[in-house]
Amino acid sequence: MKRLMITGAGGFVAGSVLLQAKGRWETLAIIRKPDPAVAAAASRTEVADITDSASLRAFFEAFRPDAVIHTAALADIDYCEQHPEQTYTVNATGSEIIAAYCAEYGCRLVFCSTDTVFDGKRGMYTETDVPTPVNAYARSKAEAERLTLSRLPNSAVARLSLVLGIPLIARGNAFLPGLLRRLSAGEAAPFPSNEIRTPVDVVTVGAALLELAENAYRGFLHLSGNTRLSRYEMACRIARHLGYPETLIQPVDSSAMPDRAPRPADVSLDNTLAQSVLSTPMLSLEEGLDLSLRTAEEIFGNVIPKNST
């Protein structure tokens, strides 16, 4: 089997990659702290900070990966805004280190970026649009994109839209489990009505990243779903699709919330190119939700709590 290194292996997206790589790749999971679930899913695990250049070199030297899927990042937007230097070091400098070692050891690199590199003034961004970040997190990711392609021009830079689903291995940063808990308890769930996205499910993202690890596509690629809508509309449609009352979803204006980093309004992504170069299909909101829930249920059993209302 070919060898795949996955950084940020304790995260939401990386969990999907690890699960789908099993039996197809020999995997080395790089994690920031020990995680038994990740260790059980990977062929091998190593604990290291993504900016620890010496440790990373030792891993490359010993494992000799054929490909690297780089998901590790500081991703809490508000934390990043308050800690811009640390954010740059982890997200930009760490990515440059990974790209430099991939170039040195001759391995394929797939770097995970974000839809929020754009300013959100018009939406449906394509791969040729120039990043215009509005917060520290997005600036660090835009710089990471630049550094990655500068170090290794044949890298694939996958810009991920809002990722939804149930964590398949590690807990990660997933909003759906929390939404389901609130809906099942009959509690109100606030969602921004002013933030527009093209959500993509975590199973599709994992499959697409693995496909990119095996092909020769270079440059930017937008991994997003086929449905463009506000986060409030998204939560309403999820509730309706699963049989919960939409009235539990409460619209909020995220731009009016205090002590919050700026967010772009409409960073919907055009996935036309992804649909033409990948065999992994991009799905609608409901199709992606069903795929994610079905996959999680195959692993854990029923993951949808009963409607108590």
Reported as a pLDDT band with limits 50, 70 and 90, residue 309 is low
Q: Using CA atoms, how far apart are residues 90 and 137, in angstroms rounded to an integer?
A: 10
35, 10 in Cβ contact below 8 A? Answer: yes
pLDDT at residue number 259? 80
Task: Encode pLDDT of 211-251 as tens digits.
Answer: 999 999 999 999 999 999 999 999 999 999 999 999 999 99
Predicted local distance difference test score (pLDDT) of residue 86 = 98
What is residue 260's predicted lDDT score, i.e. its pLDDT?
A: 87
b/e sequence 58-85, b meaning 16+ C-beta within 10 Å: ebbeebebbbbbbbbbbbebeebbeeee
Cα–Cα distance, 294 to 309 (Å, whole number)? 24
Task: For residue 308, name the pLDDT band (cuts at 50, 70, 90).
Answer: low
Question: Three-state DSSP class for 44?
Answer: strand
Q: What percent of the chain has pLDDT over 90?
A: 92
Please name each of the domains of the chain with its CATH number.
2-163+199-223 (3.40.50.720)
Whether pLDDT at 16 is above 90? yes
pLDDT (0 to 100) of residue 306: 61
Q: Is a pLDDT exceeding 90 seen at residue 174?
A: no
**DSSP-assigned states of every residue in 226-294:** S--EEHHHHHHHHHHHTT--GGGEEEE-GGGSTT-----SB--B--HHHHHH-SSPP--HHHHHHHHHH
Task: Give the pLDDT mean for 92-113.
Answer: 98
Q: Is the pLDDT of residue 171 over 70?
A: no
Confidence of residue 256 (pLDDT cuts 50, 70, 90): confident
Model confidence at 169, pLDDT cuts 50, 70, 90, reads confident
State the chain's mean pLDDT as an integer.
95
pLDDT, residue 172, reads: 63
pTM of the model: 0.96
Compute the distance between CA of residue 110 and CA of residue 71 in angstroms, rounded to an integer: 9
**What pLDDT is recorded for position 254?**
86
Q: Is the pLDDT of residue 255 over 90?
A: no
Q: Mean pLDDT throughout 150-154? A: 97
What is the predicted pLDDT for the residue at 301? 85
| Counts of helices then strands in the chain (DSSP H, E) | 12, 13
